[in-house]
Amino acid sequence: MRFSQLLLPTLKETPAEAEVVSHKLMLRAGFIRKLASGIYSYLPLGLKAIRKVEQIVREEMNNAGAQELLLPMVQPADLWQESGRWKKYGPELLRFTDRHQRESCLGPTHEEVITDLVRKNIHSYRNLPVNLYQIQTKFRDEIRPRFGLMRGREFLMKDGYSFDATEKGAEETYEKMKHAYHRIFKRCGLSFRAVEADSGTIGGSFSHEFMVLADTGEDTIVVCGQCAYAANMEKARAMAAPTRPAEPQLPLARVETPGKRKVQAVCEFLGIPPQNLVKTLIYVADGKPVAVLLRGDHEVQEVKLQNLLGATEVRLADDKETFDCTGTPTGYLGPVGLSLPLVADLEVTAMANFTVGANEKNFHLRNVNIGRDFTVGQTADLRMVTAEDRCPLCGGQLGLTRGIEVGHIFKLGTTYSEALKATFLDDQGKEIPFVMGCYGIGVSRAVAAAIEQNHDNDGIIFPVPIAPFQAIILNLSTKDPAITRAAETLYEECRAIGIEVLLDDRDERPGIKFKDADLIGIPFRVMVGNSLTKEGKIEIRERAGGQTTAVSLADTTARLKQMVESAMTNSQL
């Protein structure tokens, strides 16, 4: 491709709308342009990068036994009503009515459609398993689109769905997909972790998120410094607390704590560490109040609470609600004598002689002990893991990092197949529902994530496998016939041997070409200019690291090929 003919509108200055680096750079590098909030046009260079990721995804999905198909983007409401999600999904689902007054929606995901397809066409265990995927534009009417391609309303996604005859089969498929995902992101040249994720209300027992590690990521993930353990905050566990200390139980004492409501204030006032205090929080779970006990220095992880209670909605009660159901103002609540359902975080059960609110304004209780002074209903891991915690698997130090979710795999089970009555006959002639899994990859987001992870002050530094072009040839003096001839020759040679190359043949000064080449992040830059005239040398510069190699004109193409191939192989498995 010739730069002079390419729609590549690079910008010197960053448009005011962009906040994060990938968004800024994709605008400046002429990859994308915004049409409306969360809706972008992909320009040729941006599309090329996306196609690279798509192709890797295709190859690995196909290798793992999945088949590509393409499902409709417009979906009838009937199907969504059948699965129950027409009501559940909320305003994120963009709904509209067609000319016949039929209700429809733009597909944000395709469980319904694929399940319908399979139930109508597969009736026997002999045809299982099947694993189907598509790469398609999705639409989700996000509350707040932001960060360019990172969280758009319209975005490109690979979504796959598997159908197995048995739980065991579904688990094997899940593992296959997990493996394929590792290969995909590795091949894309991304630094990532697969983390255990909460499978939410979907009812699945298996779920992993694939997170690209980047400081600007929207999600916090917990990673063990010593072993492979990684999880998102909703799921992360810590090594179990040491068993309850054998210290003797001290007599219960009621102490006055005037005006001391916050954990910190109470602790300072009483001269105790927050690790020795138990706070009592009132939550509203599906409209019903429940008291949650937590060590003073810990925070509730609401998804864990939600899962424990089997609730569809949990939220912290406000001051008024708290007072209404306890008769005590917030700050002085405690478990002793409280007539609400009590759930406790595991850490609390390891504590003895701790301090709690007295359920009376301006008073706390000291030397409280579970069993003697009160009993808890349920105990579970309910808290947010912190950087001080240790790995639940190996005891190593845990760390918190930021990540960008680019992939998510779920074992769905029979939730959708049951709702949509998607069944087959097993080898006993019995009618049973398919066991499903679903597997997503944010393709456009993956490109943004790659840029978040790989850039410098001058622009993008693409990993070779997903770069829009592998190399760029700079003709540094278009008026010089010898230089131009050399650049053109190299360009033709490269194309002939399959190097994806862009020729900067514009009548511009060298500085502009250097800047643009750096900005758009092409891995190898081939410079044809003075050094050819003076020393007979062509320079090849690596975008990552800036290492420059001088070679003779005759050797350039072969050398470049070698460098490109070596970079591609390094990102293979």
Partner RNA sequence: CGGGGCGUGGCGCAGUCUGGUUAGCGCGCCUGCCUUGGGAGCAGGAGGUCGGAGGUUCGAAUCCUCUCGCCCCGACCA
Instruction: Please say which residue, 389 or 518, places its beta carbon nearer to RNA.
Output: 518
Instruction: Please say which residue, 335 or 407, places its beta carbon nearer to RNA.
Output: 407
- 487, two tokens: 């650049």
Instruction: Please say which residue, 152 or 189, places its beta carbon nearer to RNA.
Output: 152
CB of 39 to RNA, least distance (A): 8
Instruction: Please say which residue, 436 or 527, places its beta carbon nearer to RNA.
Output: 527
Contacts of 415 by beta carbon, 8 Å cutoff, 6+ apart: 202, 203, 204, 436
CB of 184 to RNA, least distance (A): 16
- 527, two tokens: 């410079």
Q: What is the C-alpha to C-alpha distance for residues 30 and 463, in angstroms, rounded to an integer?
A: 18
CB of 31 to RNA, least distance (A): 14
With beta carbons less than 8 A apart as the criterion, state whether 158 and 441 touch.
Answer: yes
What is the DSSP annotation of 24-91? HHHHHTTSEEEEETTEEEEPHHHHHHHHHHHHHHHHHHHHTT-EE----SEEEHHHHHHHTHHHHSGG
CB-CB neighbours of 321 under 10 Å: 16
| DSSP assigned state of 514 | H
With beta carbons less than 8 A apart as the criterion, state whether 426 and 169 touch.
Answer: no
Instruction: Please say which residue, 82 or 542, places its beta carbon nearer to RNA.
Output: 542
CB-CB neighbours of 275 under 10 Å: 13
Angstrom CA distances, 431 to 92, 425, 428, stand at 35, 5, 9
Instruction: Please say which residue, 515 or 561, places its beta carbon nearer to RNA.
Output: 515
| DSSP assigned state of 112 | H
> Contact residues for RNA (CB under 7 A)?
10-17, 19, 28, 34, 36-38, 92, 109, 142-147, 200, 218-219, 315, 405, 408, 440, 442, 458, 476-479, 507-512, 514-516, 518-519, 527-532, 539, 541
| DSSP assigned state of 428 | T
CB of 376 to RNA, least distance (A): 25
CB of 340 to RNA, least distance (A): 21
CB of 62 to RNA, least distance (A): 23
CB of 382 to RNA, least distance (A): 16
CB of 110 to RNA, least distance (A): 11
Q: What is the C-alpha to C-alpha distance for residues 323 and 317, in angstroms, rounded to an integer?
A: 9
Q: What is the C-alpha to C-alpha distance for residues 260 and 360, in angstroms, rounded to an integer?
A: 12
β-bridge mates for residue 341, sequence order: none
Nearest CA-CA partner of 462 in 188, 147, 60? 188
Instruction: Please say which residue, 145 or 334, places its beta carbon nearer to RNA.
Output: 145
Instruction: Please say which residue, 348 or 412, places its beta carbon nearer to RNA.
Output: 412
